Amino acid sequence: MKNLEKYLEIKAEVKEALAAGKPVVALESTIIAHGMPYPQNIETALEIEDIIRANGAVPATIGIIDGKIKIGLTKEEVEFLGESDEIVKVSRRDLPVVLAEKKHGATTVAGTMIAADLAGIKIFVTGGVGGVHRGAEKSFDVSADLEELKKTSVAVIAAGAKSILDLGLTLEKLESFGVPVLGYQTEELPAFYSRHSGFNCDYKLESPEHTADILKAKWELGLEGGVLIANPVPEADEIEYSVINEKIEQALAEAEEQGISGKKLTPFLLDRIKEITDGQSLETNIALVRNNAVVGAKIAKAFSN
């Protein structure tokens, strides 16, 4: 924690809110730089900030500019991350290199959790978390997001794990790590594009206040680590699981044929699925992030109270 100001810059609006004990919601930037096409990436990022504000909280979009972790981005910085080709995808392993070499970076779920925790932000809204990839018994491809949820005390509101993953193995890993998977007004784990997955969450959350009580009980007991709050995509915007799963299988086969793996795999799959679904997956992606922002802001308000 020494010399943290050298690496961290907190936007005035966010700093004032934190000092006053007002609700603050962290937002990631990989969705801007690597998760959505231009210009929807920038439009969505700014719209999500507006939704957070409209629901009574302060947004803190997190990214890295010139080797500095920015806790809260300006409109110009969001546009820069969304337009530039020189943005590194930053998880835990990448942070020291990107900061030391004064590069620009977009933070993943894991990277954003670390930065939010350093700034004292406990609530984080994203689209979906990473997890155990399909075929991980051969590739050993497991997202660093799960390790971060194990150790970093931030609540992550997401539409479940990305449905390109092996959801059963992802849940097994989270159970091993002691990470609560809590369904927001649902007992079933949502599967990103779909409301249904066939897997159950650990517990069902009834309200923002109920959620805040559980978060406080966990952290006041000294039980370090994150919480995954699984919030289903609105029914009107979902893609049925059987339908999207067929498209995912096709995209996975193409990725394997082309030798695409590691940090390049998820952006490839999301882009390819968008093409295969004629853009419907992108519309669903935007809808679920909007919905997560509303729920996340309400939870942040309850938690700050």
| pLDDT tens readout for residues 12-26 | 999 999 999 999 999
Please work out, in degrees rounded to the nearest 5, the angle formed at the alpha carbon of residue 96 by the alpha carbons of 94 and 100: 120
Please work out, in degrees rounded to the nearest 5, the angle formed at the alpha carbon of residue 212 by the alpha carbons of 211 and 214: 65
Cα 11 to Cα 284: distance, rounded to the nearest angstrom: 31
- How many residues appear in the chain? 305
Cβ neighbours for 267, distance < 8 A, ≥ 6 positions apart: 34, 35
Cα 206 to Cα 229: distance, rounded to the nearest angstrom: 12
pLDDT of residue 298: 98
- From the list 15, 162, 247, 274, the catalytic residue is 162
Q: Which domain holds residue 194?
A: 4-304
Cα 73 to Cα 9: distance, rounded to the nearest angstrom: 10
pLDDT of residue 33: 96
Cα 231 to Cα 278: distance, rounded to the nearest angstrom: 25
- From the list 11, 28, 148, 274, the catalytic residue is 28
Mean pLDDT of 182-198: 97
Containing 296, the helix (H) or strand (E) segment is helix 280-304
pLDDT in tens, 233-277: 999 999 999 999 999 999 989 998 999 987 788 788 888 999 999
Global pTM exceeds 0.85: yes
pLDDT of residue 1: 46
pLDDT of residue 139: 75
pLDDT of residue 263: 72
Q: Residue 162, Cα to own-chain centre: how many angstroms? A: 10
- Respond yes or no: is residue 162 known to be catalytic: yes
Question: Residue 129 pairs with which residues in a beta bridge?
Answer: 161
Cα 104 to Cα 81: distance, rounded to the nearest angstrom: 8
Residue predicted with more confidence, 142 or 212: 212
Helix or strand or coil: residue 295?
A: helix
* Confidence label for 61 from pLDDT (cuts 50, 70 and 90): very high
pLDDT in tens, 74-132: 999 999 999 999 999 999 999 999 999 999 999 999 999 999 999 999 999 999 999 99
Cα 248 to Cα 250: distance, rounded to the nearest angstrom: 5
Cα-based distances in Å from 130 to 75, 171, 237, 266: 27, 11, 21, 9
* Confidence label for 2 from pLDDT (cuts 50, 70 and 90): low
Q: Considering its fold, how many domains does the chain have in total?
A: 1
Helix or strand or coil: residue 216?
A: helix
pLDDT of residue 138: 74
Burial of residue 67, with CB atoms counted within 10 A of its CB: 0-12 exposed, 13-18 middle, 19 or more buried: middle
CATH number, domain at 264? Answer: 3.40.1790.10
Outline where DSSP puts E strands in 108-240: 123-125, 155-158, 181-184, 203-205, 227-230
Among the listed residues 79, 78, 65, the one whose alpha carbon sits nearest the alpha carbon of residue 115? 65
- Respond yes or no: is residue 264 known to be catalytic: no
| Percentage of the chain lying above the pLDDT 70 cut | 99
Backbone angles phi, psi at 228, to 5 degrees: -100, 115
Pair 30, 106: CB distance under 8 Å: yes
Q: How many helical (H) and strand (E) elements, i.e. helices and strands, does the chain have?
A: 13, 11
Residue predicted with more confidence, 195 or 271: 195
